[in-house]
Amino acid sequence: MKNNVTRDKLIDSGAQLISQQGYNATGINAVLKTCGVPKGSFYHYFSSKEDFGLAVIEHFATTYDETLVALLEDSDTPPLERLKRYFAVGRDHMHECDHTTGCLIGNLGQELSGQSDIFRDALNLVFQRWEQRFVHCLQAAQARGDIAKHIAPEALASFILSGWEGAILRAKTLKSVEPMEQFEKILFQQVLVRPSP
Amino acid sequence: MKNNVTRDKLIDSGAQLISQQGYNATGINAVLKTCGVPKGSFYHYFSSKEDFGLAVIEHFATTYDETLVALLEDSDTPPLERLKRYFAVGRDHMHECDHTTGCLIGNLGQELSGQSDIFRDALNLVFQRWEQRFVHCLQAAQARGDIAKHIAPEALASFILSGWEGAILRAKTLKSVEPMEQFEKILFQQVLVRPSP
DNA sequence: CTTAAAGTAGACCAGTCAGTCTATTACAAT
DNA sequence: ATTGTAATAGACTGACTGGTCTACTTTAAG
């Protein structure tokens, strides 16, 4: 398995199609067609469609984690500012895809959590990793006194991730980033606030 | 079209299967099998699977709206208490379905928004109706002085719906209602608070 | 140069999909 | 009793599904 170029092409095309159409609506043949790879190669690299789906998730999670680190662990920027940038990047992405794609992990979480425990576990792990990134950022904000210390950062991280994923869903159905803006605004106005003396 | 019993059976079975497996993963034959209706009847009442899916959404939205009215427009109960009951009912439902089903509209919103504008519009309308119910409840809370007046109730409603839908998604992938509890806790602790004098 | 394995290639398979078709039954209006 | 229509019934269709199979090509090691 030296030459991974074909495998990577499959994963890239798969990620794109699955992001757009979902997992069940994306056929293997469609993936093969868009990247010009024959079926023999597909089943050389992946044992099944599920195996392929998991590889797509893993690849996306790994790639996206780099973005997340760059945004949320950037010690040159104040923690709350990092969060704002993270939200801004999310909104930009939503515009770029014309409000159709949203978040691959969120999409698959909805579609596959009830269908397969293997998928559910994989997606849940990704979410938990994201939450941990938020926790670090929020801890930094608490250490600086930018936000109150009486709320556990883990609880805040869960709150933020839930809210953001939900806002993405609403943005998709509404075809507008307004719910994302609304969420961010109230979050910074009411939740991520300096402690009152 | 006098006898709607067959049509209703189809919609009921469809709602159940689609809630569990999603729209694309639910075949018409599976729906027919679970309620013992022949295919001829299906295409007598519905012109296509999409038409059927829209009927399922409509039926769910109508039925659920009654629950929503009973919970959120109950003038015998303080507005914020109504909201808490609404959240409690949602959590109970999540337990009942073993964290698999979640919210039909949310599920279909993720799965179908990018696939079909007709579905997207239908689902968006349902979401907007729900938001309106929240708006009324929040306005009542503001009128009583239970929450601050400086945040537009429309913005708050959007915030709450996004957060709640996202929490349901996280609850599904985590197989635990913890994210839903977390969301509710911080919402009432930080957002739905009395105005500081 | 030989050989074994990795990878490419696509025809092919059984099963399933949404949707069509024809036949039959139930029931209302006349 | 007759006729028209609503509804039931399910066999059937072509397209497509995930997955298998065999044949071929490339690559690298001995």
Q: Which domains does chain A have, with CATH numbers?
A: 48-191 (1.10.357.10)
List of E strands, A7-127: none
Q: pLDDT-derived band of residue B3, with 50, 70 and 90 as boundaries?
A: low
Q: What is the pLDDT of residues B50-69, one digit of tens each?
A: 999 999 999 999 999 999 99
Note the CA–C1' distance, A45 to C2, in angstroms.
28
- Please report the pLDDT score of residue A33 as a whole number: 92
Q: What share of chain B is helix, strand, coil (3-state, %, to 5)?
A: 75, 0, 25
Stronger pLDDT, A195 or B48, i.e. the higher one: B48
| CA dist., res. A53 & res. A144, Å (int) | 41
What pLDDT is stored for residue B1 in this prediction?
42
Give the closest of A21, A161, A185 to B170, CB-based: A161
Contact B172 A196 (CB under 8 A): no
The pLDDT assigned to B10 comes to 92
CA dist., res. A52 & res. A26, Å (int): 12
Segment B33-50 mean pLDDT: 91
Q: Which residues of A touch B164 (CB under 8 A)?
A: 166
- pLDDT recorded at residue B197: 62
Burial B61-93 (b: 16+ CB within 10 A, else e): beebeeebeebbeeeeeebbebbbebbeebbee
**Is the overall model pTM greater than 0.85, yes or no?**
yes
- CB A139 within 8 Å of CB A153: yes
Q: Which residue of B has its CA nearest to A167?
A: B162
Tell me how close the Cα of B134 comes to any Cα of chain A, in angstroms.
Answer: 15
Helix-helix angle B153-174:A117-143, to 10 degrees: 130
Q: Which stretches in chain A have pLDDT values below 70?
A: 1-3, 197
Among A26-30, B92-96, B153-157, B158-162, name the one with the lowest average pLDDT. A26-30
Res. B196 pLDDT band, cuts 50 70 90: confident
Name the 3-class secondary structure at A14.
helix
